[in-house]
Amino acid sequence: HQLSNWLSQISNDFDIGFVYRPGYKDINAQEVEVALSTQLLNDRVTINGNFDVRGAEKAAGTSDKITGDFDIEYKLTEKIRFRFFNRFNNPYTGKGAPYTQGFGLFFRKDFNQLADLFRKNSKPEMKKEDEVLIEDDEPEASLRLQ
């Protein structure tokens, strides 16, 4: 984990992670994983990706396998997001294809009680301490939202 922390300090624009898992005899193969994450367009687009190199020495040669996963998420609003992904299928799950791709539209709503989830959305009045202040470079150009 120390290497991952050091690599992530190279730039504030992205996070880098590195994991090494040594193999043990014939039980499991050694594995190296590299992960990368970044946000673009004022944090509206998030890209996460990683690739693994798994392999073990066999009598007939090396059976190294490079796999990769990634997902791209676009924030349409604070509550609505669109996501596209590509994921490696573990060969032991019985799926025929090596990868699964897909996309989805996600909606998020916070609530305290289950009934709040189905109530019509009414905008509560903001209290004075809940005001949002948007500032510009010039002090007289500040805008107060209520």
Residue 65 in any domain: the answer is yes
Residue 6 in any domain: the answer is yes
What was the pLDDT predicted at 60? Answer: 46
Provide the domain count of the chain: 1
What was the pLDDT predicted at 44? Answer: 92
Choose among 66, 61, 63: nearest CA to 34: 66
What was the pLDDT predicted at 113? Answer: 85
Residue 130 in any domain: the answer is no
Categorize the per-residue pLDDT at 142 as very low, low, confident or very high, splitting at 50, 70 and 90.
very low
Residue 144 in any domain: the answer is no
Categorize the per-residue pLDDT at 92 as very low, low, confident or very high, splitting at 50, 70 and 90.
low
Token pair 């573990």 is at which residue?
90
Residue 32 in any domain: the answer is yes
What was the pLDDT predicted at 46? Answer: 92
Residue 63 in any domain: the answer is yes
Q: Which structural domain range is residue 39 located in? A: 2-119
Q: What is the pLDDT of residues 28-55, one digit of tens each?
A: 667 788 888 888 898 899 999 888 776 6
Residue 85 in any domain: the answer is yes
Residue 97 in any domain: the answer is yes
Task: Kindly report whether the global pTM for this prediction surpasses the value 0.85.
Answer: no
